[in-house]
């Protein structure tokens, strides 16, 4: 397997209901369900994995999207 690259960070341009933390490594919705878009600072490379998650111990609200990824070999990774 390829060595992992640097961590993806969130771009500073984000929705008005998003607060970025930890130098762009974290993002949280601060109010409501609208205007909560976030983007990565750089594109994902082919085969690069990413994870979308929520705070531990919280019940997911309605409208949560679960993302799954695949490695370059086509195997499900998440």
DSSP letter string, 12-47: S---TTEEEEGGGTEEEE-SSSSS----BSSPPPTT
The token pair at 33 is 């369900």
User: What's the alpha-carbon Rg for the chain, to the nearest Å?
Assistant: 14
Domain spans in the chain, listed from the N-terminal domain onward: 1-43+62-70
Give the residue with greater pLDDT, 66 vs 3.
Answer: 3
Residue pLDDT, tens place only, 27-59: 888 888 788 888 888 888 888 777 776 665 556
CB 13 within 8 A of CB 19: no
pTM of the model: 0.58
């Amino acid at each position: 397997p390829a060595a992992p690259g640097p961590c993806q960070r969130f771009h500073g341009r984000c929705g008005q209901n998003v607060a970025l933390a930890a130098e762009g490594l974290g993002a949280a919705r601060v109010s409501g369900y609208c205007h909560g878009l976030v983007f990565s600072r750089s594109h994902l490379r082919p085969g690069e994995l990413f994870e979308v998650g929520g705070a531990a111990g919280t019940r997911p609200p309605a409208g949560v999207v679960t993302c799954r990824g695949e490695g370059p070999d086509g195997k499900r990774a998440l």
